């Protein structure tokens, strides 16, 4: 049996349970989607992102208005782009991609996705370590630290990484349920922490001076030393595209295929405005009142032990499903058992977590993560709406029984190369690249398909 065929069979068996479109009897009500989005988007990353906005000199107007616009755009992307395709086709991302791109290209996509997941989980391990290290008095990394800064940090990260990996191997399901239980509490910890530090910042009841303090002490509009200056455009684009892989990249086809109506895409607003608006604002307030750059210390200073526990839980519950997803992708590549691939993902994750750069440069990493995956989302959208109108073949790989759709592969690799070229040579920041690259990818896939499919048709 050839390697490609083996890989294809392994992938199919892994996703066997959702090979067919979701039947009408399995469709879910709006409540499920509200719950999923509320739970998934109040996570460990929120502690860091709000803090980094403050460090990058975002102003009050930038934060409140930019965050509002960016999150509305994100909700619109889910509602108008992802959900309509999901409810028409009712297939998961994997099966849609496989039909369009072929097994080999999906395999490559899965591996890239797995590595991105490992780095994201690594950032969460590092976030959790900033809380676990408090009782041991370890030297915490600061905004400027890109490499491990002490033996204590290395040992703490390794300890946290080992525990998180072991728990993911032993009880992923139980942890996933625990994450759902923790979500409402985590959101309130953000809110209560922000309220708790208001007096320290000089906001007093009856004085109506919140906006004045916010302007002068929190979102000052001046970046900290060594940090680039952010404008409202950074906030808009980052808020919009922080989850680009899920909406423009179409990962959430897997969720919305269960929706009764495409309008359920608006359920994402709950996650966006609780997690990516209120929680980011709250973590900015927490950071402004703190004497540290480490999320664990910031939360501990504000509300004590509950704050430190929240940072550990937030990091842990975000890392857990991330390790699981990475493990699934690696399982296909290696053919190993689940525990072995989760262990491998854990080793990669923990090694990455040793480098504080992953946390301190989280905004860049999140932008890169979206950028890497969204061209394939554009391919799915183009295949759904435009390919038939041009008289070309939908689900080309499936129809022609090929394992690598060259038009899709070329779109992905060329668009990524173009994005990196623009970033390196024209110094356009990563936050601004996913949206134009997604649009160009749409056109590129149609163009490449026109040339690629022609000889086969003839």
Partner 1 sequence: MMRYIYKIIASAGLALVLIPSVLHYMDILGNDQMKTFIFLGTMLWFAGAIPWLGRKKKEI
* Residues near partner 1, by CB under 8 A: 28, 32, 36, 173, 177-178, 180-182, 184-185, 188-189, 191-193, 195-196, 198-199, 203, 205, 255, 258, 303-307, 309-310
Alpha helical stretches, state H, 133-231: 151-201, 210-213
Of 184 and 335, CB closest to partner 1: 184
Of 38 and 345, CB closest to partner 1: 38
| 3-class DSSP state of 47 | helix
Of 190 and 445, CB closest to partner 1: 190
Give the nearest distance from C-beta 370 to partner 1 in angstroms. Answer: 23
Residue 393: phi and psi, rounded to 5, are: -90, 120
- Classify burial at 358, counting beta carbons within 10 Å of its beta carbon; exposed 0-12, middle 13-18, buried 19 or more: buried
Of 203 and 352, CB closest to partner 1: 203
Of 290 and 309, CB closest to partner 1: 309
Rounded CA separation 321/287 (Å): 27
Rounded CA separation 372/109 (Å): 10
Beta bridge partners of 28: 259
Give the nearest distance from C-beta 123 to partner 1 in angstroms. Answer: 24
Of 3 and 23, CB closest to partner 1: 23
Give the nearest distance from C-beta 110 to partner 1 in angstroms. Answer: 20
Please, which residues have CB within 8 angstroms of residue 58's CB and are 6 or more apart in sequence?
Answer: 66, 219, 221, 230, 234, 235, 284
Give the nearest distance from C-beta 305 to partner 1 in angstroms. Answer: 5
Give the nearest distance from C-beta 19 to partner 1 in angstroms. Answer: 16
Rounded CA separation 277/261 (Å): 26
285-to-51, 58, 106, 168, 430 alpha-carbon distances in Å:
8, 12, 42, 33, 26
Contact 248, 437 (CB under 8 A): no
Give the nearest distance from C-beta 284 to partner 1 in angstroms. Answer: 16
Give the nearest distance from C-beta 174 to partner 1 in angstroms. Answer: 8
Of 210 and 404, CB closest to partner 1: 210
75: left (phi over 0), alpha (psi -120 to 50) or beta: alpha
Of 194 and 348, CB closest to partner 1: 194
The angle subtended at Cα 80 by Cα 405 and Cα 257, nearest 5°, is: 65
Give the nearest distance from C-beta 173 to partner 1 in angstroms. Answer: 7
Please, which residues have CB within 8 angstroms of residue 251's CB and are 6 or more apart in sequence?
Answer: 93, 245, 373, 377
Contact 358, 126 (CB under 8 A): yes
HSE at residue 189, side-chain half, CA atoms within 13 A, is 27
């Amino acid at each position: 049996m050839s390697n490609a065929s083996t890989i294809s069979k392994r992938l199919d068996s892994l996703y066997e349970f959702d090979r067919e479109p979701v039947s009408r009897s399995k469709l879910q009500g709006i409540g499920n989607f509200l719950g999923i989005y509320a739970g998934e988007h109040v996570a460990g990353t929120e502690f860091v992102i709000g803090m980094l906005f403050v460090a990058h000199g975002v102003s009050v107007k930038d934060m409140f208005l930019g965050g509002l616009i960016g999150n509305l755009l994100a909700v619109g992307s889910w509602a108008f782009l992802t959900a309509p395709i999901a409810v028409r086709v009712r297939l998961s991302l994997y099966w849609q991609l496989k039909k369009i791109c072929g097994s080999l290209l999906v395999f490559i996509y899965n591996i890239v996705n797995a590595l991105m997941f490992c780095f994201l989980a690594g950032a969460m391990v590092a976030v959790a370590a900033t809380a676990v290290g408090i009782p041991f008095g370890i030297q915490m990394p600061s905004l400027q630290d890109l490499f491990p800064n002490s033996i204590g940090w290395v040992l703490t990260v390794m300890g946290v990484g080992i525990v998180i990996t072991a728990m993911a191997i032993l009880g992923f399901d139980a942890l996933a349920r625990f994450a759902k239980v923790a979500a409402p509490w985590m959101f309130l910890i953000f809110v209560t922490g922000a309220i708790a530090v208001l007096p320290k910042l000089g906001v007093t009841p009856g004085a109506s001076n919140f906006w004045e303090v916010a302007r002068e002490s929190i979102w000052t509009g001046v970046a900290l030393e060594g940090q680039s200056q952010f404008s409202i455009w950074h906030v808009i684009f980052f808020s919009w595209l922080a989850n680009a892989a899920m909406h423009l990249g179409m990962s959430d086809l897997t969720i919305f295929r269960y929706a009764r109506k495409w309008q359920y895409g608006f359920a994402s607003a709950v996650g966006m405005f609780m997690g990516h608006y209120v929680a980011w604002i709250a973590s900015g307030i927490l950071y402004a009142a703190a004497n540290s750059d480490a999320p664990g210390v910031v939360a501990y200073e504000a509300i004590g032990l509950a704050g430190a526990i929240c940072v550990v839980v937030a990091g842990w519950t975000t890392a857990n499903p991330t390790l699981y997803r990475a493990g699934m992708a690696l399982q296909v590549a290696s053919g190993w058992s689940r525990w072995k691939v989760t262990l491998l993902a854990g080793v990669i994750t923990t090694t990455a977590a040793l480098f504080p750069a992953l946390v301190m440069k989280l905004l860049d990493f999140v932008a890169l993560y979206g950028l890497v995956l969204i061209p394939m989302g554009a391919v799915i959208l183009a295949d759904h709406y435009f390919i038939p109108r041009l008289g070309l073949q939908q689900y080309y790989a499936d129809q022609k029984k090929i394992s690598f759709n060259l038009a899709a592969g070329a779109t992905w690799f060329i668009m990524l190369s173009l994005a990196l070229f623009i970033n390196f040579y024209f110094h356009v920041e990563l936050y601004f690249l996913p949206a134009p690259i997604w649009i160009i990818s749409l056109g590129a896939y149609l163009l490449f398909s026109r040339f690629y499919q022609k000889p086969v048709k003839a």
